[in-house]
Structures are given as C-alpha cells and as structure tokens.
Structure 1
C-alpha cells in the first residue's frame, strides 16, 4: 500500500508518517518534535499514507473527547474511505464494527451503561485471587530455570485468561484467544482473519451463556434491563477483551521495566510493595501502553489547535503526547502522584472506571506475585538494549530478558 496523499491536500509535504522504526526508540521525543514543528495538532500519515490528524495537546485532547457532537465516534463519517484498501492493516482498529465503541448519543449511553454496571459487579477480591493464580501458573513454567523473558513468558499471558474467566470463557480456549488478539492488534498480515475468528468464539460464548447463565459478566449483560441483543453483547465483549489484553499486558511489562531499571525502585524490589502502585502510576504518565487512539471524526468544519479540520477528517488521540504536554506538565515530577493522565482517554468514550480498576488489580497482582516468587530478578541486558514493539498505537517491550535464582 503506497498510495500517495491526495493531490488536493495542502499539507501533503508536511505530513509525518505515524508508522515505522522511529516508534522503537523513545516515542516521547518524536511527539516533542511534532509539537515543536506543528503545535498541538499535527498532520500525519497512517499506514499506506492515509492522511489524518494527531492531537498532541492535553487541552485539545480534552476538547475533542469532551465534545462528541463536534467530534463523532462513528468511523462511517470518515472522508478518506476511498483511499483505504480492503486489506488495510488498521481496518480492525478503525473500521466500523457494531460494537459499543463506535456508537454515539443515546445508543452509546444504553450499551456503555450496561457494560459499566456489569463490570462494577465484578468482585475485586475474587479478581485479585484469580490474577494471582494465573500469575503463579505462568511463573511455574520457568521458575525452575535461571532465566526468562518476562514479556512473552509472563506479561503477555496474564490479562486475557483473567478477563476470559471474568466473562465466562472456558479456560481451554484462552490460549487461542491470546494469539488471535495479538495478531489482530499487530495490524499486520492475517489481522482481519484473526479478528473474525475472535468474534466467532465470543458469539458462541453468548449463545452458551443464554442457555446456561452463571455469575459472570456475559450473564449479567444478558439479564440487564437495557435489553441488549446477543449480537450487541458479543460485539461489546469482543471490545472488552481486545481492550483488556494488550494495554494491561503492556502496563505490566512497562512497569516491570521501570522497576528493574530505575534506581528509585531498585532498593524496593526485595519485598517493598509500596513501590508497585507508584510504578504503575508513573508508567501511565511516562510510558502509557496506549499511545495513540483512533479516533474521532469531525462532524463539521472546525478549528482545533490553530488547524482547520475539515468535515469527515480523522483525528487520532495522542494520549502519550498529551501526558507530556509541557503546558500542563511544566514540572513533570509534580504530576507523577496524581491521576490526571490521559492514558484511559476522556469523556463519554473513555475506558470505563470499573474497567480501569480491573486492569489495575490484574497488573498489580501480576507484579507482586513475580516479586514475591523471584525476589532477586535482574535484567540480563543493559537497559538501553531493550527494544519496543514497532507500533504507532501501543507502547510495549519486545522482550524483557531476566535472570534469577531458580525457585
């Protein structure tokens, strides 16, 4: 896919590719360069040289997410669909699907409200215990050796089994789901086919739970007074699993990296649990798992950050860039302890508060179990040798090789 930018695009020569190897280095530097060159809203190119806007400013992200009547969520508003081929790798993330994520107005309130309530009823104690059990089983597979990759062998494997159990997926199917979800979010070859397979698995789950309800999120959605259809529930569960796996796995991996490489945390690795919450919070500011989130679509011509955005233009929410906006973080250290980050987005389409709490319980449990089981874990490579997966949308390590005393 090498389509050139539209010939009538006045910004064709200044658009910055939002893909490529530059995302494997410190992405914050790239966002700072964009901000210096273009201000709080930068013209960018997505994979295949498809034009869009990247919203870099904290206040601008707040404005976009807080005004859904001006910046809609339905991707059918997009004015560049004629440039998108059927095998576009970002299609599973940007293309319209009948999920809650792409609804607007009263329909979004109906479906998101039902999911919020179903998630709020998840027992936090049980959730933590289940996360600890999953973490222990994963550590059992490599604890007898003296080394491991804490990304492939640990962080990647924790969230989805817990979320799957929470929604009622049989444990025997979770391994396949992990592989399919990662294939989808890698936005590469086979992404569309993987997305279809995950949807089919979730549809089967909903049919099964309608016949055999239990104490899980799927059963609560089926019984909710919002009157959700099987199709609506399947699509919203699909979104929940996708949103719960990658960002939470990256949150675990990025936090472990911080605790293993930063001297402020090194002295507390040997049993100091008070640092885990601080590290989790700091990662959301400094290396948030969801870097850029597509998207919003202008419902009319509008000015944003000094840029004229045309009706139907796509805006990518620069969540990581907003977290580093110097206009709101003149002294970065003063913000580490608060939760004003944009990591879970903002406005009516933000990540539900209950989902945020669930992700935090899973991540914290995973890190604490690892430190309890392997208290002398250390990196086997220099910190600056660690590499990041080359994704413009997410920030997660390719590997985190460590050594430890066999347990």
Structure 2
C-alpha cells in the first residue's frame, strides 16, 4: 500500500546568480540545431556551466557524458523531488517551464526511494507482458490504414497525418483505450510536453481520460496494461494508477512519434540512406540509432542537489537545479571522438535516461517496435517519397525538453490503397 508523502521544503535561500551565467533561451534555441549550440557551450564553458532559464532563473547545465552519468546514477545526491529547489520564491505560477518542474503530488516523476521502485516495478511488469509480435502486427495495420488515407494524392504532411498518430493508436490498444479517444489524448500529450499556454488544461483533460479508463477496467478487466496495473501486487492507489498511466502514455506517445519523424527526415536528407531507398541502403535500425545520438527526441530533464557538492569542477549548492542535457552528453567528444563510428551499433546514449528514473526496461523496446514498423511500412508503400521543401526549411517545435519537427511535408507518386476505405 502507498505511504504518506514525505514533507520536503526548499533547501536554503536562493543561490546567487554566477556572473558567467549563459541564457538558455531565446530565438537560437527555437530555430537552431541544439546539438550545435550545446557543443559551442561545452567548448567555451566546459562540461558543467551556470545558465539562466526563462525569466533569468539560475540553474546548472550538465553537458558532459561522464557528468550526466554521475547525476543520473546518484539519486540520493541529485534527487527528483522538485520541492527542494531553492528558487521557488522567485518562480511565478505561469513560468513557461512549470509543467516540467512543478511538483505533482502522487506523480511517479517526483517519487523517490522505495516508493518509486514499487511503482516502477508495476509499470515494468505490466509492459513486459505486451506481446511484441502482436504489437508489430497492430502497428503494420495502423500504418497501412493511415497511408491509405493519403497515398492516392501526390503528397502528405507526415507528422500530423502519420508519425503522431501511429504511437497514439498503438498505445490505445495496449492500454485498453478505444481508438476514438487516441488522437485527442495524443494532442493533449504534446501540449503538456511543450509546456506553453494551455498545458495545464491539457493535463487536466488527460488525467480525466485516464480516470475514466480505470473505472472501465475495474468493471471489465482485459488483456491490457491498465488492467494489469489495477491488479498488480503493488496495490497501487487510484491516484497512483491515474498518474502512472498518464506518465506511461506521455513517455510512449510523443518521444516515439518524434523518433519516427526524426528518422524519416534523416533517411530523406542523408545520402547514406536516401540514394538507394529501393534497396542497399543502411538499415532503418541504423538510422533510428543514429537519431538517438544526433537528434534525440529527449533533450533535457531536471534534478535537484540534496546537499552542497561539486560537479564538473563547479560548486553546486543544496537545492540548486541541475539541468541534465541528454542531447549534449550524447555528443560529448570524450566518448564520441568520431561521431558516426560512435553511433553505429552503440546503444550507450542517454536518450532513454538512466538510473532510477530512466525508462523502465520494456519501454524502449516497445517504442522501437512501433517506430521501426512505422518507418519500414512507409518506405515500402511509398518508395520514391521525398521532401517537399528544402531540408533547411523544415521547422522544429520550440520546446526545451524535446527535439521534434513541427511538420514533415513530402511528395511521392500516387499509389493504390491496400485496405478498404
């Protein structure tokens, strides 16, 4: 059974702003390749540097692979509960990044220790029972149905019409949701992750949908993740179940959709993949792995120091926010002196996190099944697919946490539908 949440308060007064702090917001972070920017910051300031988040809120940015590994591995020194933050008195309620750092009672994102392990184990066990072959078959059907909707024309916008929809529809069946609710839930997920205006309302709609799902599964259990979570020996409370399903859906929908989109983009702009789409190209799996190193859908996450310490030669005070730059660590030349050679067959990236709050073991594997199937089916059905605009005209979502395309417009020769319309 669940235990009362511990009382945690900010650790000390706000830390002073170091004079060499670097703004981590503005037009460059909306328009430019963040990997390039993080590389510049690492070259100028080192593996750990003081930064200013939106509103000139101080934090520490961790760019080094070793330093990121240290933070993610030590959950007692760099903890997840944001109530420790020593800057709360300076944070307005409408702060743009509030959706990422605002403490959510009952959320596994901020749980720690044995309480976190109990809930994470329930997630792991529920997802481990998902049949990978059935999931791939489901994704193939969904992909064919979506392609049938636009293949008779000569073009499509693949993010909205394809990449964003496949994970939503695959997860809907996995979780026991009706397809009719899948797309509206996926839209709310993206709004929550973007963290802008309307994020709170989207979160509330999402939580309501998860609550209704659990009520339905109590009345009529099925062979799905929600039912298995309900009957797990961890005996999760109603609040824990709602919160955990919410997080599982968010973690499964948006990152997987962006993994699909970023992989398709790479295969359409890079000669190593695009010159021979009909055969002989590098594999879809290689492209997907390269994306996790170079254009990781997951960019940044937060931890809070529980006591004074040193990290990368910097003095970190108790209660300071530490921004873990997963994308920056992946491009650290200390571990990837030759970038391409470092990604091929190498799965030591941080795109799925690491440590206590990393993705539960089955989740990356299930996401890979969904993403790989989506890319393979599209290339099989539309072998001459190509970008409809120059690569440098593709626009990215202005999000601190994710690396994701706003749109992926393509052209192709019209093709017949495979399934009845």
TM (norm. structure 2) is 0.92
**Distance in structure 2 (CA, Å) of the matches to 1:80 and 1:323:** 29
Taking the aligned partners of 1:260 and 1:336, their CA distance within structure 2 comes to: 19
Is the 1:92–1:195 Cα contact (8 Å) retained in structure 2? no
- Find the partner of 2:45 among 35, 38, 44: 38
1:59 is aligned to: 66
Corresponding residue pairs, total = 401
The answer as to whether partners of 1:75 and 1:95 remain within 8 angstroms in 2 is yes
Instruction: For 1:289-308, list aligned pairs within 5 A.
Output: 289-293=297-301, 295-308=302-315
State the alpha-carbon separation in 2 of the partners of residues 230 and 208 from structure 1: 13
Match among 183, 194, 199 for residue 191 of structure 1: 199
1:179 equivalent in structure 2? 187
Counterpart of 1:153 in 2: which secondary structure?
A: helix
Contact 1:165–1:171 at 8 Å: present in 2 too? yes
- Separation in 2, partners of 1:16, 1:132: 44
Counterpart of 1:130 in structure 2 is: 138
Q: Is the 8 A contact 1:302 1:308 kept in 2?
A: yes
Which residue of structure 2 lines up, in the alignment, with residue 16 of structure 1? 23
Deviation at 1:10, TM superposition (A): 3.9
Once the 2 structures are TM-superposed, how far is the Cα of residue 7 of structure 1 from its aligned partner?
A: 9.4
Aligned to 2:391: 383
Whether the aligned pair in 2 keeps the contact of 1:291 and 1:319 (CA below 8 Å) is yes
Which of residues 268, 272, 279 in structure 2 aligns to 1:264? Answer: 272
**CA deviation after TM superposition for structure 1 residue 273, in Å:** 7.8
* Cα offset, 1:36, TM superposition: 1.8
- DSSP 3-state at the match of 2:59: strand
d(CA) in 2 for partners of 1:374 and 1:334? Answer: 30
Aligned mates of 2:328, 2:173 — CA distance in 1: 34
Equivalent residue, structure 2, for 1:3: none
94, 102, 107: which is aligned to 1:95? 102
Task: Indicate if the aligned counterparts of 1:19 and 1:46 stay in contact, CA closer than 8 A.
Answer: no
- Select which of 280, 305, 327 maps to 2:334: 327
Mapped pair 1:209 → 2:229: no
Distance in 1 separating the partners of 2:134 and 2:99:
32
Q: Which residue matches 2:90?
A: 83
Comparing 253-262 and 96-105, the one that deviates more: 96-105
CA distance in 1, matches of 2:176, 2:74: 35
Q: Unmatched 5+ residue regions in structure 2?
A: 1-12, 416-421
Find the aligned partners of 1:328 and 1:270 in 2 and give their Cα distance. Answer: 34
Give the superposed CA RMSD. Answer: 1.6
1:157 to partner: Cα distance: 1.4
* C-alpha distance in 2 between matches for 1:7 and 1:277: 46
State the TM-score, normalized to the length of structure 1. 0.95
Distance 2:50 2:94 in 1: 24
Structure 2 CA distance for aligned equivalents of residues 135 and 362 of structure 1: 10
1:133-152 alignment, distance < 5 Å:
133-152=141-160
Q: For residue 323 of structure 2, give the secondary structure of its aligned residue in structure 1.
A: strand
Distance in 2, matches of 1:136 and 1:255, equals 18
Instruction: State the secondary structure of the residue aligned to 1:144.
Output: coil
Contact 1:89 1:191 in 2 (8 A): no
**Deviation at residue 19 of structure 1 after TM alignment:** 4.7
| 1:186-233 deviation line (CA, Å, top 9, x unaligned) | 211111111111011101111211121000001111111111112111
**Residue 406 (structure 1) aligns with:** 414
- In structure 2, the residue matched to 1:355 is 363
Residue in structure 1 matched with residue 81 of structure 2 by the alignment = 74
Distance in 1 separating the partners of 2:116 and 2:140: 34
